[in-house]
Amino acid sequence: MKPQQTKRKRPKVQAITLKAVAERVGLTPSTVSAVLNNSAASRSVPERTKKRIFSAARALNYRPNYLARSLRVKRTFMIGVIAEEIGDPYGSLIISGIERYLRKQNYFFLTVAHRHDNRLLETYSHLLLQRGVEGLISVDTSIREPQAVPTVAIAGHTRVAGVTNIVLDHRRAAQLALVHLVESGHREIAFMKGSSFSSDAEPRWKAVCEVARELGLRMRRELIVYLEGDDPTPQLGYPFAKQLLARQQPFTALFAYNDISALGSIRAIQDSGLRVPEDISVIGFDDIQIAVHANPSLTTVRQPLQKMGEIAACTLIDQIEGREEYLPEILIEPEFVVRKSTAAALLRTHSGAESNQGVQ
């Protein structure tokens, strides 16, 4: 018969209270609370005092009781984030920016990915509201109806009451890319239009067409492909670049829909025995993290994706806490990043020789 083992009870760890931190620094609990929660009241607290409070909280291993705070003020301090994908290069950078800002404000967030399933999108929206989120941020997801809480849509292009759309200036973006190609001597340019799954597809395409017309660029039907599917890897662009090459219509540059499709296109061009940028220049869109490490490194239109996430979170919190009035739209300025995937166009003469067509 085995001897009976007595269960040892774990010693209870005494929780450090806000009052204990306040006593440590000789301040009132309300002042300490304001600083630790980064509330509006903390703005009047000197920086030296703030450092003392944070130092004392660390020394005492103070852990805020967020449940007690929520019950006391009847708030959840939670935000719902609705995305198409979570791990894709575009969405992950935006969500990183959202997380960075919310963490500083002592807000939590719940993230859902609907993967282009409209029924799932509706279900998740209701689920987040049932969980008590105080606001919503959508990432590359169309919001078509007013929501019960303040809402910010990143890459939102539908005007909906109560929804703040954060949008890139696509016209300026198209201008930066196409002027770069024109000034480099390119006239025969191929284009990729984004998949219907992407919120930016239509406004970006409209901007590209308008700017091309203003620059006198002819957009040949044979040099246009329409992306299909929602593959978040470079494979998205590979087969469509192959389609372009198979049409036997010469072109010296490709303006891809995004960086992912641009990277797949570069591989397709190289697999066809051509060189980038010597034979075909390639421009992407987004400036995802891998763009600079591609071979060759990718020339692209930069969206400040992390910053857009931070702006979305800041805008939403300001609306929730009544610091700012509702804005229907916030326009984001793009940047153009020139790397190694573009060069001056080479014009092939009838004799087969090549001459540099770039503007000096």
Three-state SS for the chain is CCCCCCCCCCCCCCCCCHHHHHHHHCCCHHHHHHHHCCCHHHHHCCHHHHHHHHHHHHHCCCCCCHHHHHHHHCCCCEEEEEECCCCCHHHHHHHHHHHHHHHHCCCEEEEEECCCCHHHHHHHHHHHHHCCCCEEEEECCCCCCCCCCCEEEECCCCCCCCEEEEEECHHHHHHHHHHHHHHCCCCCEEEEECCCCCCCHHHHHHHHHHHHHHCCCCCCHHHEEECCCCCCCHHHCHHHHHHHHHCCCCCCEEECCCHHHHHHHHHHHHHCCCCCCCCCEEEEEECCHHHHHCCCCCEEEECCHHHHHHHHHHHHHHHHCCCCCCCCEEEECCEEECCCCCCCCEEECCCCCEEECCCC
Spelled out in words, what is the top-level CATH class assigned to the domain 72-169+305-333?
alpha beta
User: What are the residue boundaries of the structural domains of the chain, listed by start?
Assistant: 16-48, 72-169+305-333, 170-303+337-356
* Distance (Å) of CA 202 to CA 141, 164, 170, 193, 311: 13, 19, 10, 8, 23
pTM of the model: 0.77
pLDDT tens, position by position, for the chain (360 residues)?
A: 555 555 555 555 466 788 888 999 999 888 888 888 776 677 788 999 999 998 988 888 887 665 556 555 567 889 999 998 888 889 999 999 999 999 999 899 999 988 777 788 788 888 888 888 999 999 988 888 888 899 999 998 889 999 999 999 999 999 999 999 999 999 999 999 999 888 899 999 999 999 999 999 999 999 999 999 878 888 999 999 999 999 999 999 999 999 999 999 999 999 999 999 999 999 999 999 999 999 999 999 999 999 999 999 999 999 999 888 889 999 999 999 999 999 999 754 323 345 454 432
* Two domains, one topology: 72-169+305-333 and 170-303+337-356: yes
* Fold classified for 170-303+337-356: Rossmann fold (3.40.50)
